[in-house]
A and B are shown apart, each in its own frame.
Chain A
Amino acid sequence: MGDMMQAFILLLAGFLVVFTVLVLLIVIVTLYSKIIRLTQDAGKKRKELTHEEAVETSEPKRELRSLTRADIEEEDDEIPGEIIAVIAAAVDAVYGEKPHKIRSVKRERPARSAWSRAGAMQNTRPF
């Protein structure tokens, strides 16, 4: 009975200590990662600002418009009308006379590019 009592106490202590230590590590790692990233981002922005200022002073009249990621995605997301028509026809063929409505057509983005996928496949093949 004494041994079992000790075992139960150890069970509880073990759960608590292991989880506490690892949760503490989660908090610390998350915090310091954030701090480091913020510091590094701030450093990068400062560098970019000084670079832009230098560009402006050397070429004051030249208009620079950098494409943002959102712009690029917007352009990529445009699905040609023919494709939408084909999708609509396919949906219509499946549902037939049942009432149906196509709300939106979205391009499915693979998590990786085809090249990246091929590389990962190559590297993880022995596993």
Chain B
Amino acid sequence: MEILTQLWQIFCHLFEESGFGKLSWENYVMVGISFILMYLAIKKQFEPLLLLPIAFGMCLVNLFPGIMGLPSTEMLTEAEMVARHLDPSTYTTTVYNGVTYYNHVEYGGLFYYLYQGVKLGIYPPLIFLGIGCMTDFGPLIANPKSFILGAAAQIGIFLTFIIATALGIFTPNQAASIAIIGGADGPTAIFVTTKLAPELLGPIAVAAYSYMALVPIIQPPIMRLLTTKKERSIVMGQLRPVSKLERILFPIIVVVLVALLLPDAAPLVGMLMLGNLFKESGVVDRINKTAQNELMNIITIFLGVTVGATATGKVFLTIQTAGIIALGLFAFCLATACGVLFGKLMCFFTHGKVNPLIGSAGVSAVPMAARISQKVGQEENPGNFLLMHAMGPNVAGVIGSAVAAGVLLSVIKPG
């Protein structure tokens, strides 16, 4: 009989210690959401490089929350040390009210340590380094007016900030972090959110990357709605070739200007331009290859899983998350619309030489947004090649969203 009781107790203890005993319903819902995201990443190939690690991180943290556990120090009495079969000679001690306590350090979970790269703002600039190595600023140098379209798309960020603040359910810091989703730039959104509203990192990162993945679905209807068939059919002249010297000088000039005017944007823009200088200088081929391949891939894994691991059930399943998802979509649509409208303006002033479709590429989302301009343009005229023209506003959008992030960070101070 006693054996049965003990066996029962062991099973009860095992059940209590298992996930079934410890997890709440929110965790199970989040695991379900992570499965949907995994499906979208694998089957539909929506930004799989980031969505897959994010979804898996989300799944893991909701099944085993301890993986994000903070390190802690437990103060044990001598009797407790003996009961746990611990050797007191290897522990530091603290004397409190005449009693000696042994400091028993519990280390944090794996993701807690990996997450420090996100928390301290290390990963996003490193991702920008890799992006810089892969980015060709040639179309932007050949047609510098594209910068205007990159700036226009950032209007969506600031308008969304106003609306999010007006709703009254978000603090200005949170509103700014939500608004940056409109820049369609994952690393920038994460960089700003970790500094201004780290508590919203999970929902904001998931919303930002989801919308970037949904660019082919979200942007075309807005582009078609705001342009006429004639405008969409405009064929743009070929871009002039850009000399090597111009390409080398570009990152240096941009970093000097942006770092002087907006020091808060310097980590992002600085690393982006460093990467681009690696590429264009042509003298550090090994570093260039490492930065755009191995380093970028490693950081992407760490960033993805740890950002996903911030999306625990209790944090994610709130009314705020619904607000973030809705406002993020609004910001993204607004940014696209502003880009296209400025494209129309440029079309008007250049007497029809600019196809307004390239304006939508002003949201970052490189190179997906430029591909969409190309695709929608070719629907009207199969002989029209807007890809390189759209790459100008597209890479200008990366600089523009980093500048907008700098403005938000310098005006709204963290805390």
B385/A7 in contact, CB under 8 A: no
What residues of A have a CB within 8 angstroms of the CB of B158 in the complex? 10-11, 14-15
Within 8 A of A (CB), among B73-122: none
Docked CA distance A8–B408 (Å):
13
In the assembled complex, B403 has its CB within 8 A of some CB on chain A: yes
In the assembled complex, A85 has its CB within 8 A of some CB on chain B: no
Query: A25: which of B238, B257, B262 is its contact (CB, 8 Å)?
Result: B257
Chain B's closest residue to A111 (CB) is B235
Within 8 A of B (CB), among A1-19: 3-4, 6-11, 13-15, 17-19
Known: A7-B165, A29-B250, A127-B387. A22 touches B155 (CB 8 A): no
B161/A7 in contact, CB under 8 A: yes
In the assembled complex, A30 has its CB within 8 A of some CB on chain B: yes
In the assembled complex, B166 has its CB within 8 A of some CB on chain A: yes
B403/A32 in contact, CB under 8 A: no
Smallest Cβ distance from B272 to chain A, in angstroms? 13
B172/A6 in contact, CB under 8 A: yes
Docked CA distance A62–B35 (Å):
80
B166/A7 in contact, CB under 8 A: yes
In the assembled complex, B375 has its CB within 8 A of some CB on chain A: yes
Known: A10-B411, A17-B262, A22-B148. A28 touches B253 (CB 8 A): yes
A120/B161 in contact, CB under 8 A: no
Q: Considering only CB atoms and an 8 Å cut-off, how many residues of chain A contact the other chain?
A: 35
Query: A29: which of B253, B261, B375, B404 is its contact (CB, 8 Å)?
Result: B253
In the assembled complex, B243 has its CB within 8 A of some CB on chain A: yes
Within 8 A of B (CB), among A56-72: none
Chain B contact residues, majority secondary structure: helix
Interface residues on B, range: 35 or more
A28/B257 in contact, CB under 8 A: yes
A30/B400 in contact, CB under 8 A: no
What residues of A have a CB within 8 angstroms of the CB of B385 in the complex? 120, 124
A111/B155 in contact, CB under 8 A: no
Docked CA distance A30–B383 (Å):
29
In the assembled complex, A24 has its CB within 8 A of some CB on chain B: yes
Docked CA distance A36–B248 (Å):
12
Known: A11-B158, A111-B237. A22 touches B262 (CB 8 A): no
B150/A14 in contact, CB under 8 A: no
Smallest Cβ distance from A121 to chain B, in angstroms? 8
A127/B400 in contact, CB under 8 A: no
A26/B154 in contact, CB under 8 A: no
Chain B's closest residue to A31 (CB) is B144
Query: B238: which of A3, A13, A15, A112 is its contact (CB, 8 Å)?
Result: A112
Chain A's closest residue to B412 (CB) is A10
Chain B's closest residue to A40 (CB) is B243
Within 8 A of B (CB), among A71-125: 110-112, 117, 120, 124
Smallest Cβ distance from B355 to chain A, in angstroms? 12
A14/B408 in contact, CB under 8 A: yes
In the assembled complex, A46 has its CB within 8 A of some CB on chain B: no
A33/B141 in contact, CB under 8 A: yes
A22/B374 in contact, CB under 8 A: no
Query: B151: which of A9, A19, A33, A112 is its contact (CB, 8 Å)?
Result: A19
What residues of A have a CB within 8 angstroms of the CB of B378 in the complex? 124
B375/A21 in contact, CB under 8 A: no
In the assembled complex, B145 has its CB within 8 A of some CB on chain A: yes
B403/A21 in contact, CB under 8 A: yes
Smallest Cβ distance from B415 to chain A, in angstroms? 15
In the assembled complex, B249 has its CB within 8 A of some CB on chain A: yes
Within 8 A of A (CB), among B220-252: 235, 237-238, 242-243, 245-246, 249-250
Q: Which of B147, B155, B157, B159 has the most CB of A within 10 A?
A: B147
Chain A's closest residue to B154 (CB) is A18
Query: A111: which of B145, B238, B371 is its contact (CB, 8 Å)?
Result: B238
Known: A10-B408, A11-B158, A37-B243. A22 touches B400 (CB 8 A): yes
Q: B residues near A, CB below 8 A?
A: 140-141, 144-145, 147-148, 150-151, 154-155, 157-159, 161-162, 165-166, 171-172, 175-176, 235, 237-238, 242-243, 245-246, 249-250, 253-254, 257-258, 261-262, 371, 374-375, 378, 383, 385, 387, 396, 399-400, 403-404, 407-408, 411-412
Could you show 25 A-B contacts with beta carbons less than 8 Å apart? A4-B165, A4-B166, A6-B172, A9-B411, A10-B158, A10-B176, A10-B408, A11-B158, A14-B404, A18-B151, A18-B404, A19-B151, A21-B262, A26-B145, A32-B249, A36-B245, A36-B246, A36-B249, A112-B238, A117-B383, A124-B378, A124-B385, A124-B387, A127-B371, A127-B387
- Apart from A7-B175, A11-B161, A19-B148, 10 more pairs, CB < 8 Å: A6-B165, A10-B407, A10-B408, A14-B411, A22-B151, A24-B261, A26-B147, A29-B253, A33-B242, A124-B378
| 9 smallest beta-carbon distances between A and B, as pairs | A29-B144, A7-B165, A14-B158, A22-B147, A127-B371, A22-B151, A26-B144, A11-B158, A7-B162
